[in-house]
Each structure stands twice: as C-alpha cells, then as structure tokens.
Amino acid sequence: MAAPYEEFASRLRQMLDRAHFVPGRGRTSALAHRYAVSRETARKWLTGLALPELPRIIELSKDFDASFEWLATGRGHVNLSVKEPTATYRRLSDHEGRLLDAFRSLPEAKRQLLVEFLS
C-alpha cells in the first residue's frame, strides 16, 4: 500500500534536492533539527506517512524558495510565483539559522525572556 501523502513527500524531497539540503542519510536528522521536530516526524514527512501542519508548509516553501501552492498541492510551478522581490524570501545565513535553532530549542518561558531582553 502506498503512503497516503507520497506525492507531497516526493515534492518535499525534490525541493530539498534542488536547494542542496543535506543529502543522504543525514537528511532526516537535519530536517528535524532545522524545524525543531522529532526525527520520527521528519521521517514521516519524507516518506509520505504524515503532512506538516499548514504553518510549517508555508515556512518550508519560504525557506526553500518554492511556491506554496506547488509544495502543498502539486499545482503550478516549483519556483516562487509571487511578484515580490526574492529578497523577501531569502534564505537565512548560517549564523541566523544557528541562532533560530537555538531560540527554537528554548522552553517558551525562556523565549519570552529573551525577546523581552532584546527589546
């Protein structure tokens, strides 16, 4: 029996390949780490056993410069189709990504304290 969301998983893998996101065996761990989900959740996304929630699909499409409609439904083109400058959807630098990963790993109370401190 085919995975229920195999078509989404195929588009997700294609998008990650196009962006040269960690290939091979480390992809599941890298995806889980980047989006602060369990390895099991990332594995399910990549194998078509589960779909990310809508806000996460939006985040994925922005992070990898892919059209939301294409990623979510398979319709349209893989590239962004909005008429906005691509800088709106630029990828994070390595430092920004590490900072975001660290922020996401904090408990909610510490996140709030950090935001207050930086404001």
Domain ranges for the chain: 6-118
Q: Is 28 helix (H, G, I), strand (E, B) or coil?
A: helix
Q: Please classify residue 24 by burial: count the beta carbons closer than 10 Å to its beta carbon, then call 0-12 exposed, 13-18 middle and 19+ buried.
A: exposed
pLDDT for 56 equals 94
- Tell me the mean pLDDT per 10 residues along the chain, length 119: 88 92 90 93 96 94 90 83 46 78 88 90
Task: Give me the phi and psi of 79, to 5 degrees please.
Answer: -75, 160
pLDDT for 6 equals 95
CATH 1.10.260 fits 6-118, yes or no: yes
pTM here is: 0.65
